[in-house]
Structure 1
Amino acid sequence: MSEVRDLTRRLVSIPSHEDERAAGDAVESWLREETTATVARDEDGNVFARRGDGPRSLAFVGHHDVVPPADDQVGANGDEYVVEERSGRLHGRGTADMKGSLAAAMLAFRDAEVGAPETPADPVDQLVFASFVGEEQGGVGARAAIDDGFAPDYAVVGEGSTGYSAPGVTDVAVAHKGRRGSTIHARGEGAHASEPEAGENAVYRACDAVDVVRDLDAPETTVLGQHLSGSVAVTEIEGGSAWNVIPEDCAVTVDERTVPGERAALERVESAPGVEWTVDQDLPPMACDDADFAATVLGAAAGVQDGSPERVAKPHATDAGWLAAAGTTCVVCGAAEPGEAHTATESVDVEVLERCERLYRRVAESLVA
């Protein structure tokens, strides 16, 4: 029997798209029953466990919330998610994103034989496990934990990194993009459309701002040999009240994919008359700032699989962005493959889950005194 498969099935079966408490209860109770670690639950619902004592720490980080399931991912009574195993894969909401890797991290946290690290001259003192709430709502749990003082020196965030360099290979992501969503507000003066010169057309002003966006250069950077290209695009426009009225308001939504250290100069849109720019969401990118730590995790990945893992970059944000912004050295390494998360056919390979459990355990044993 595969323990990581069984634990994944247990966690995935618990609904956690609206209320994460039951899933948090399951994580917390397992840690209390299966480990001798110090276990805590904060007022936001985040679950923490610690092995060892001292100022320097390595954390395995995940989250136990999920996006809303598709209809056929929910059981007939509505009180459980459907979990099925077919052809060596577990299918169900949260299998890939990310209760599978969370289960692997829990088992590695329990079983790692720490105390004689192989790699560093300056090892870390504590092994930490953290499972956050609200990752799918923009990192609510991670941000709250950081505000409360959660500050590991190093973190392996268990979001997906499998299948980036080659199918089936679990890679190590040393960077990922962020997302800044913003709105351009254009204001004018209404008038009857038969006399357009009597007003100021807010849509025209918004179009002037859109021209500024179109001329902006997308940000680019390189992290540990991985090139990241950002993007900036207008995605929505809304304005006007009637076919015969010169519009006095217009709003334009902008989606920007950010890269570490670089942003598009969107503030330039305010050079257009009557235009204001506001940021609605800013999920930070991540860049690993320690090549030795990345090499340690990559070595662990190479040691648990036949393929040749590589350093890679992810296209979307994770809680690693919040941790990195707060000073934690991060990589992202997990079982999910591109295209699995948030889908009606979400699944994860059981063999890769077992691989990730071994990988996480190797990282801990390489670093924690």
Structure 2
Amino acid sequence: MIPSTLEILARLVAEPTVSRTSNLSLLDYAESLLRGAGVRIERFAHPDGSRANLWASIGSEGPGGVVLSGHTDVVPVDGQAWSTDPYLLCERDGRLYGRGTADMKGFVAAALRAFRLAATGPLRRPLHLALSYDEEIGCLGVRGMIDALAQRPDPPALCIVGEPTGMRIATGHKGKLALRACCHGQEGHSALAPNALNALHLGAAFITALHARQDELSVNGARDPDYDIPYSTIHAGMMHGGTALNIVPNRCDIDFEIRNVAEDDPENILAGLKADARSIAVAHHNRFPKACIEIERVSGYPGLNSDRGAPVVQLLRRILGDDAPTLKVAFGTEGGLFEQSLGMSTAVCGPGFMDQGHKPDEFVSIDQLSRCDAMLERLVVELRQGA
């Protein structure tokens, strides 16, 4: 008997798979559902063995298959005021509450059920399932699996990333570079502060430069009206420096990001920021020749920019209805990695809404899960017919 999506989701939510922690128990459960009926399963582990990606396939091993992609990690609940246990699925007023229900264990549960359904009969085109780890901290975990798949012949043709879109077809999202500016000054006693170089002041000047570049992008940068914010953005999220009030700090770190529309090259934006950093430091070199602002890459992922006529969009329109709306989403996904590294036609479509994610009392509606189940059932029919 095939368990319901709700039953599977309850098990998935019960696994506290916060990023950087183990997801192996969740994968064990997923494998217990997938084993048999010709399903082929592989894992691609993190170097320390604590967590892994899972790749499952059913049907012929030839080209032309469809990938259902989801991540297993969730954001922490620390400091959030939940009205229910975040790791115990709670149904109330047509909603299912729990950490990860919207982002994105709801889709993972529906995909596991769809795999069980696909295993009940032959497929003329293969179906694949990709479950990743550490997506929430920069789409880090999936890369090992993608690198391995890139070495194989006949990759799947299409990829559906099940992030929450309200079951609408998302054809794009911005790319992201996560960066750290390390500002190096010279320490000294605060009573003699003018004789030292305050790294926090260097950092403040760099943040001013970030703001100026952002203003320039908002006025003269490339624009894509499909986004709520139609231009590329630069954002400083954290600034750290100093150890005591009476010490002029010699180091300040600023974590910032670039989110770019497809028409903007993030490397060009970064080059401008590096020039700003050099200019800020050089202004102090007469007195402090070692002053510098070094910019390090922390993480990043490419954007997704599929055409509305792309093969995966055509497939989704067939199984959702020709009137299914398309949009571009503000949040990032692993979709750009599947598209650019493996050449798959990729779109994002899944149950729930991202504005419910990452918050206390996160939920997905039962109606949204039902609509996702119906979409995946129609996908299985397509694969049986070889359409």
Does TM, scored on the shorter chain, surpass 0.5?
Answer: yes
Provide the identity percentage: 26
Residue 358 of structure 1 corresponds to 374
Residue 363 of structure 2 corresponds to 347
Contact in 1 for aligned 2:83/2:361 (Cα 8 Å): no
Root-mean-square deviation (CA, aligned residues, Å) is 3.0
Counterpart-to-counterpart distance in 1, 2:44 and 2:192: 61
Counterpart-to-counterpart distance in 1, 2:44 and 2:180: 34
Counterpart-to-counterpart distance in 2, 1:87 and 1:158: 24
The farther-off stretch of 342-351 and 103-112 is 103-112
- The number of residue pairs the alignment matches comes to 343
Contact in 2 for aligned 1:73/1:344 (Cα 8 Å): no
Contact in 1 for aligned 2:3/2:113 (Cα 8 Å): no
Contact in 2 for aligned 1:289/1:329 (Cα 8 Å): no
Residue 58 of structure 1 corresponds to 66
SS class of match (2:205): helix
SS class of match (1:325): helix
Counterpart-to-counterpart distance in 2, 1:135 and 1:349: 23
Contact in 2 for aligned 1:171/1:298 (Cα 8 Å): no
Contact in 2 for aligned 1:27/1:47 (Cα 8 Å): no
User: What do the CA deviations read for 1:289-348 (whole angstroms, capped 9, x no partner)?
Assistant: 572321331342226xxxx53111111112223222313321110002132112221111
Contact in 2 for aligned 1:258/1:284 (Cα 8 Å): no
Contact in 1 for aligned 2:310/2:345 (Cα 8 Å): no
Residue 231 of structure 2 corresponds to 229
Residue 325 of structure 1 corresponds to 340
**Aligned letter for 2:67?**
A
Residue 30 of structure 1 corresponds to 33
Residue 23 of structure 2 corresponds to 20
Deviation at 1:172, TM superposition (A): 0.6
Deviation at 1:114, TM superposition (A): 7.1
CA distance 1:196–1:346, change in 2 (3 Å):
closer
The TM-score normalised by the length of structure 2 is: 0.77
Contact in 2 for aligned 1:287/1:324 (Cα 8 Å): no
Confirm or deny that 1:154 pairs with 2:151: no
Deviation at 1:206, TM superposition (A): 2.9
Counterpart-to-counterpart distance in 1, 2:133 and 2:237: 29
CA distance 1:191–1:63, change in 2 (3 Å):
closer
CA distance 1:238–1:137, change in 2 (3 Å):
closer
Deviation at 1:232, TM superposition (A): 0.8
CA distance 1:137–1:205, change in 2 (3 Å):
closer
Q: 1:177 aligns with which of 159, 174, 178?
A: 174
The TM-score normalised by the length of structure 1 is: 0.81
Counterpart-to-counterpart distance in 2, 1:365 and 1:54: 18
Q: Give runs of aligned pairs for residues 111-190 of structure 1, distance below 5 A.
A: 111-112=117-118, 125-149=125-149, 151-162=155-166, 170-190=167-187
Residue 110 of structure 2 corresponds to 104
SS class of match (1:361): helix
Contact in 2 for aligned 1:302/1:309 (Cα 8 Å): yes
Deviation at 1:24, TM superposition (A): 0.6
Counterpart-to-counterpart distance in 2, 1:361 and 1:6: 17
